[in-house]
Amino acid sequence: MSIEYIADRYGHLLGGIDVDKAIRTIRSDRANAAVSRLLGVELPPHDEKQGECAQLKAMLERAKAEEAALRRLISEAKDMGVPRSDLGPAYARLRSARKRRRLASRMIAFAGCAEG
């Protein structure tokens, strides 16, 4: 039986293992081996962490940009004289944007990526 078939069929029973990531790693390792055989050159193993760090940093930048846009929106509304009670949905979105920013920065710290 193929490892991919087993992972796909019984992945829900493996408890905490990211099955899709495991299958991608298996496939990339096979592709890496095939390319190195064809070229006759040893290729370095694919680093999954760099892609993950880039994705997390992009998530953090999006959250920061959304938070800044919401801050500007609330500030403009205050300047126009809109009462705070009417800005409830904007404040709720701001809170959720802050949560996403904090989550992204914690994930970056946990993954060991340099924030910057």
Q: What pLDDT is stored for residue 1 in this prediction?
A: 43
Domain ranges, ordered by start, for the chain: 3-39, 48-111
Query: How do residues 21-63 score in pLDDT, each as one tens digit?
Result: 766 776 666 666 655 655 566 655 556 667 778 888 888 999 9
Helix/strand/coil for 108: helix
Q: Is the pLDDT of residue 15 over 70?
A: no
Among candidate residues 6, 28, 1, 29, the one with its CA nearest the CA of residue 17: 6
Question: What pTM was estimated for this model as a whole?
Answer: 0.56
What gap in Å lies between CA 25 and CA 6, rounded to an integer?
15
What gap in Å lies between CA 85 and CA 87, rounded to an integer?
5
- b/e 20-46 (16+ beta carbons within 10 angstroms → b): eeeeeeeeeeeeeeeeeeeeeeeeeee
Residue 111's pLDDT band (boundaries 50, 70, 90)? confident
